[in-house]
Structure 1
Amino acid sequence: MTSRKKKKLDKEIVEVPVIIETIRKEEPKIAFKFWFDAKVKQGIVHPWQEKSLQIYFKKQGLTDSEAVDTYNKVVEKF
């Protein structure tokens, strides 16, 4: 691998966590949607796991009612 390619690859690897962290700070619901979609596709999380998903929303900084509302909005799409 050439030095130039390695530097570009290193830069891309560093940028991904920064982008994810920015999304988390800017909009927890968007970050959750990416996380939720990925987990459902992997078969790890199922849309009917209501309590665990609401707890995840709370950890993202949402209030109880916001967590329930956001969960309901996400589940409606399935």
Structure 2
Amino acid sequence: MWNKNYFYTPAVLVAGHGPFIWGEDPAEAVHNSVGLEEVAEMALNTVILNPSNDGLAKLLMDKHFFRKYGKDAPTMDRVR
């Protein structure tokens, strides 16, 4: 399995269940739930507009992830 860091993934969708969302405090968990709703809506609209869409290329996903969390990313004090 992957070495997962809950900070990088503050929400998950569980098949046949629903979302699990967390944060450092209840307000952050609510903030993360709003983000999950937005991402889910964008994903649904993407599929509606283009059912054959294969998603983002790994290169592009890595670029965005490492820009925020990579070794040269700003410290978390400046991100929040």
> TM-score, normalised to structure 2's length?
0.34
> TM-score, normalised to structure 1's length?
0.34
More helix per residue: 1 or 2? 1
More strand per residue: 1 or 2? 2
Q: Which has the higher contact order (CA 8 A, sep 6+)?
A: 1
